[in-house]
Amino acid sequence: MRLLLAFLALALAAPVIAQDSMPDAPYAYKQLEDPAQEAKAKALMETLRCLTCQGQSIADSDAKIAGDMRHQVRTRIKAGESPEAIRRWLMERYGDYISYKPELSETTWPLFALPLVLVLAGGLVLFGRFRRRA
């Protein structure tokens, strides 16, 4: 039984061990040579959410996937792509959640409409209470 549990633990740990042994992407921690391109890349990285940390941008995160995403951003900026084209590509790949700057679309419109609906409902409730008192 112990042998079976040990084998199972090794089998489940193998993918994690393999992932940690992969080298970092070249531009994960290395800045671009052109300061203007690096500034564009840095500005874009500040607006993209790390999928692992979720509370940090990919510029601030030490997660492996954030390093890979920084590499992708810098590589594409170096190739001449615009930051917005890179953002769209990442949003297509990882979903709208990755962006700290949500766009109005058929899936995100409730997020933009809900605060307005709540303010209107609160206003109606307050109007009704004040009207009854008067």
Chain length of the chain: 134
Q: Looking at residue 18, what is its pLDDT?
A: 55
Q: Looking at residue 24, what is its pLDDT?
A: 63
Dihedral pair phi/psi, residue 84, rounded to 5°: -70, -35
Q: Say which residue the tokens 């084998």 belong to.
A: 7
- Whether the CB-CB separation of 73 and 44 falls below 8 Å is answered with yes
d(CA 65, CA 107): 25
Short-list 72, 63, 69, 73, CA closest to 19: 63
Q: How many CA atoms lie within 13 A of 4 on its CB side?
A: 1
User: What is the amino acid identity at position 123?
Assistant: G
Using a pLDDT cut of 90, give the percent of the chain over it.
43
Instruction: Kindly give, in sequence order, each residue whose CB lies less than 8 Å from that of residue 102, ignoring residues fewer than 6 positions away.
Output: 96, 108, 111
Q: Looking at residue 129, what is its pLDDT?
A: 87
Sign of the Cα pseudo-torsion (52, 54, 58, 60, in order): negative
Q: Looking at residue 133, what is its pLDDT?
A: 77
Mean pLDDT in residue range 94-116: 81
Tens digit of each residue's pLDDT (9 = 90 or more) over 30-89: 888 999 999 999 999 999 999 888 789 999 988 888 899 999 999 999 999 999 999 999
